[in-house]
Structure 1
Amino acid sequence: MEFRDRHEAGRVLAKALAAWQAQPEVVVLALPRGGVPVAWEVARALGAPLDVLVVRKLGFPGQEELAMGAIGPGGVRVMSDVPRLWAVSDADVERVVEREQAELARRERLYRGERPPLVLAGRVAILVDDGLATGATMHAAALAVRAMHPQRIVVAVPVGSAEAVQLLNTVADEVVCVHVPEPFRAVGLWYQDFGQTSDEEVRALLQGEGASP
């Protein structure tokens, strides 16, 4: 299965989440930036409110695409075995955390502005991204949301690796992944258009100004 773009992936994912349509307790949380167009389609189809949950991947120094962990709101930090296996020093880890914490705060201000985050206590939180590779970022997101006392956490993605789906099943109440290819390789390989989502597009979609192409 290959998706044309993130909007099409969101529409396909929404069909897999149809059981949650028109349920007043449902909230859709997008992981920016790439998860926002996907989540926008999901929220529109389900008739649910949309918000962002800003989490940041902690990239391995010199090889930033390799996740050694992730951070989320409320001080949540998830680490993989990479720092230990690759002999990354504590000082190097803290430098990466400090940089990504500043970016997390910047994006919170940029995307949400003065709007307060949605209240999640007692609600069904559907966490959406454009795909799962290692699952570290979504893992941090799920832990951050769990601390906000939702009724249920549903992780929902169009595509993901079997390993990441297995990981997320340990922290979410439900994982919905439309396509689990083998071999997986990378999220972007399953999209015809996987261009970077801009901050401007994220803000427009969150403000209800976006349109499905």
Structure 2
Amino acid sequence: MLAEKSLSAPNSPRNSLYKRHRMSLPISRAYVNPYFSSREETGVMLAKLIKYYARNPDTVVLSIKPTATALAHEIAKELELPLDLFLVSSFQFDGMTVGAITDKSDQPLLKEQIIRGCDIPKETINDLIAKERIALETLKKECCPLNLPLPNSENATLILCTDGIQSGQNARNAIAILKKILGYRGKIVLVAGIMGSDAQKMFMKETEDAIAVLCPQVVGTVASWYDDTRVLTNEEVRQIMSQARDLSKNI
């Protein structure tokens, strides 16, 4: 069941203008019905929680994975903000994430401590990066992000959107790339339909705010929270990006 809603201090974006919903669920969700009907519905719900940012200057909505683009598009429409797709791809070695890349920079984000601890050869890392770069460039051609310039003043805000967070690895890599690789200096707000309560606490330390419609103790699979389990095709993502281009012209 839904627990009591929490509010933040006055005069802060973390205030009564939007409320973070928390819930406590049993370990097993085998017989729990999906909470959300679709990603689009979830985007509208999230937009209501972050209406503080509506029409804010130097604010951009970014979908941090292609399958969450429909959710991010609803947020951008509701808040009248520009939308783009922020492509980040992680790569692994023996099941461990050792780095990530973005289409916005040639410089990779490397987990140096893991690489040194596992004594992974530089040649191996370079091969992993090269393969991931090819896959990312293919995805970029198929999804056609707008490549909007990132606002980079201290007053800027990036709203990073995803449908759900389990381990949070992809979101953490996106945040790290923005700060360490791209030199972003503004605020970052992470929003998701579903986010584990422990993950939310972690991201509250790394961002301006971490907001979700639901924050259960156990997430399981993100897809299990959605009645509509259909995954967006790259063609559908490209169509949403085309609509986002028209939206940006009218803002």
Number of the residue aligned with 2:101: 71
Distance 1:192 1:68 in 2: 33
Say which is worse superposed, 27-36 or 88-97, in terms of deviation: 88-97
Partner-residue secondary structure (3-state), 1:208:
helix
Contact 2:59 2:151 in 1 (8 A): no
Q: Distance in 1 between matches of 2:202 and 2:195?
A: 11
Q: CA deviation at 1:131?
A: 1.0
Q: Which moved more, 1:183-192 or 1:39-48?
A: 183-192
Return 188-197 or 198-207, whichever deviates more. Answer: 188-197
Select which of 31, 41, 46 maps to 2:79. Answer: 46
Contact 2:189 2:210 in 1 (8 A): yes
Partner residue, 1:16: 49
**Structure 1: 4+ residue segments shifted above 6 A:** 80-85
Structure-1 separation of matches of 2:138 and 2:62: 18
Partner Cα separation in structure 1 for residue 209 and residue 192 of structure 2:
12
Aligned residue for 1:3, secondary structure, equals coil
User: Do residues 173 (structure 1) and 220 (structure 2) align?
Assistant: no
What is the aligned residue count? Answer: 205
Q: In 2 relative to 1, CA 102–165 (structure 1 residues): closer, same or farther, beyond 3 Å?
A: farther
Larger radius of gyration: 2
- Worse-matched range after superposition: 159-168 or 50-59: 159-168
Contact 2:164 2:192 in 1 (8 A): yes
Which range moves more in the overlay, 156-165 or 38-47?
156-165
Would you say the 8 A contact 1:27–1:126 is kept in 2?
yes
Residue matched to 2:30: none
- Residue number among 116, 119, 127 corresponding to 2:150 in the alignment: 119
TM-score when scaled to structure 2?
Answer: 0.70
Q: C-alpha distance in 2, partners of 1:11/1:183?
A: 24
* Separation of aligned partners in 1, 2:88 and 2:43: 20
Q: Is the 8 A contact 2:66 2:85 kept in 1?
A: no
Question: Sequence identity, in percent?
Answer: 22
Could you list the runs of 5+ residues in structure 2 that have no partner in the other structure?
Answer: 1-33, 245-251
Counterpart AA for 1:158: G
- Cα pair distance change 1:25/1:176, threshold 3 Å: same
Question: What is the one-letter code of the residue matched to 1:103?
Answer: A
